[in-house]
Structure 1
Amino acid sequence: MTAIYLAGGSTVCSRQRSMAPMAGWGQTLPLFMQGIEVVNCARAGASTKSFMERGRLGWILDNIKPEDLLVISFGLSDMKEQAGVFTEPFGAFQTNLRRYVNEARDRGAHPVLVTSHERRVFDRFGNMRRPLLMYPAAMREVAAELSVPLIDLNEWSIAWWRQLGPDGTKSLFVYLQPGEHPNYPEGVADNSHLRSHGAVECSRFVASQLLVQGMLPAHFFRNLETGFDADQVVEFLDDAVFDEMTKTRVAGGMK
């Protein structure tokens, strides 16, 4: 069976029940796919650097087959100025992306680059900011240089966030009042990570672009125009399953 392997960070990864309603768009991508396996290897906190160094890219490369897709989406953690994670956008970030692309192609697989969706940051006048800075631009440059298909989730998300504004975007992110959800009894104001509805619509856009850009035949897609009650259709992993997948989807015995 053809497979889509996802390499990315916290905005892509599948979440466990104890983190609900936080969800990554890779978690909801199967809602729009059929007859194809979605293997979500994205991990919270991963950058292009740490994902490789912890053996996660290696695991993908050990398992990926000719004609499979490797969908690559990083940026939010690469910009964190901490050891083992940070990369310069027009330095190591691009170097790492080139390696992901070339390693996939060496195995007969097809790489796809996806810019990270933007964070929810508005100034006091309601103007949206772009805290991801140059990382989306750096990814676009690599896509053009290596002729890699690009899905610009960043630009698409910015247009949506602006349309909804500072208050409307709270329903997309993990923005919860005290007592609103048992997993966050004291409430939470997370401007980086999506809840189910936001994740569903981001994955709908990614799936639509996979189709429109001809990266997969039409028979692999479903539900692209279907409305969902995201809180009813999004599935969360058991915590034990999540922990096991995190430990085992690495190469060379790394964790």
Structure 2
Amino acid sequence: MIWIQRFFWAGDSTVKQNNYTSFPQTGIGQAFALFIKQSIRIENYAQNGRSTRSFIAEGRLDAIDKRIGEGDFLFIQFGHNDEKKQDPSRYTESFGSYQENLLKFIDVARKHGAHPVLITPLYRRKFNEDGRTLVEGTHLDYPEAMIELGKRENVPVIDLCTSSKALIEQFGEKATRKWFMHVEPGIYPHFPDGKEDDTHLQYEGAYRFSQLIAEDMKKLGGVYADLFIDPDSDYEDPAMLID
């Protein structure tokens, strides 16, 4: 049997695998498949509204623990819901239980010989009154806590929070509306009244931010860079997946 390399997503709705019931909402985990080799299998365990605390409490990390193996990857992206202090079932302290929980994800990957990768949360599209710059600190100090943990544990950190903020500001308020869930009434059956949402993504946004992650991972080199499609090769034989 041919060995199939896999990578696992652990996270919230911004990376979740969506279906027609939430269309056109698209998670980064869906668009990321555009960049990786066809021979790599994606298993996306991300779910709406989850924090590190609730993801673990619901047994989702245990499910990954049972399936992940040597040479696989575990992408760990949390922060949007850990910061919700009003909800004790999800809230974590940034430099306390948040880091402790992230370490549990790292330990699951490492004990199986897999590669953990930390990803700071996607920046929220909240422009200041000038319409050019984004409101500072929409994720408080959770990105900094993740970065600090990554340095301490020698785990790669993809700082999507910083890179996504820069990209949103570069393209501006008007152009980035179509990246996020800004939809008019009467177009999509599951959003009959329309929607204005500066956290969740449509397909183009998921593609844009997946590209940021891919670019930063390629810079890591080695096994991380090897995940991605060679731009000089336009075809990969699907037979690679067959016994």
Using the size of structure 1 for normalisation, the TM-score is 0.84
Matched with 1:11 is 14
2:62 counterpart (42, 58, 63): 58
Q: Distance in 2 between matches of 1:217 and 1:8?
A: 19
Q: Distance in 2 between matches of 1:125 and 1:141?
A: 32
Q: Is contact 1:174-1:189 (8 Å) kept?
A: yes
Matched-pair identity in %:
37
Matched with 1:242 is none
Q: Distance in 2 between matches of 1:176 and 1:84?
A: 31
- 2:112 pairs with 1:117: no
The CA deviation at 1:181 is 2.7
Q: Is contact 2:164-2:212 (8 Å) kept?
A: no
Q: Distance in 2 between matches of 1:199 and 1:94?
A: 26
1:148 counterpart (139, 146, 155): 155
Q: CA RMSD in A?
A: 1.8
1:138 counterpart (127, 134, 145): 145
The CA deviation at 1:164 is 2.1
**Deviations 1:40-96 (CA, angstroms, capped at 9, x unpaired):** 111111100111010000000111001111110000011112021011111110111
Secondary structure class of the residue paired with 1:90: helix
1:96 counterpart (86, 98, 101): 101
Which amino acid letter does the alignment assign opposite residue 20 of structure 1? F
Matched with 1:40 is 44
Secondary structure class of the residue paired with 2:95: coil
1:197 counterpart (187, 195, 204): 204
Q: Distance in 2 between matches of 1:114 and 1:212?
A: 15
Q: Is contact 2:217-2:225 (8 Å) kept?
A: no
Task: Answer 1 or 2: higher relative contact order, Cα 8 Å, separation at least 6.
Answer: 1
Q: Is contact 2:16-2:28 (8 Å) kept?
A: yes
**Deviations 1:103-143 (CA, angstroms, capped at 9, x unpaired):** 21111111000111101111222231131111111100001
Structure 2 segments unaligned to the other structure (5+ residues): 233-243
Matched with 1:245 is none
Structure 1 segments unaligned to the other structure (5+ residues): 226-255
Query: What is the number of equivalent residue pairs in this alignment?
Result: 226
Matched with 2:134 is 128
**Deviations 1:126-171 (CA, angstroms, capped at 9, x unpaired):** 2311311111111000011101011111111000111122222211
Which amino acid letter does the alignment assign opposite residue 187 of structure 1? G
Using the size of structure 2 for normalisation, the TM-score is 0.88
Secondary structure class of the residue paired with 1:200: helix
**Deviations 1:200-242 (CA, angstroms, capped at 9, x unpaired):** 12112222322221253655422769xxxxxxxxxxxxxxxxx
Distance 1:139 1:11, change over 3 A: same
Matched with 1:161 is 168
Which amino acid letter does the alignment assign opposite residue 134 of structure 2? M
Q: Is contact 2:219-2:225 (8 Å) kept?
A: no
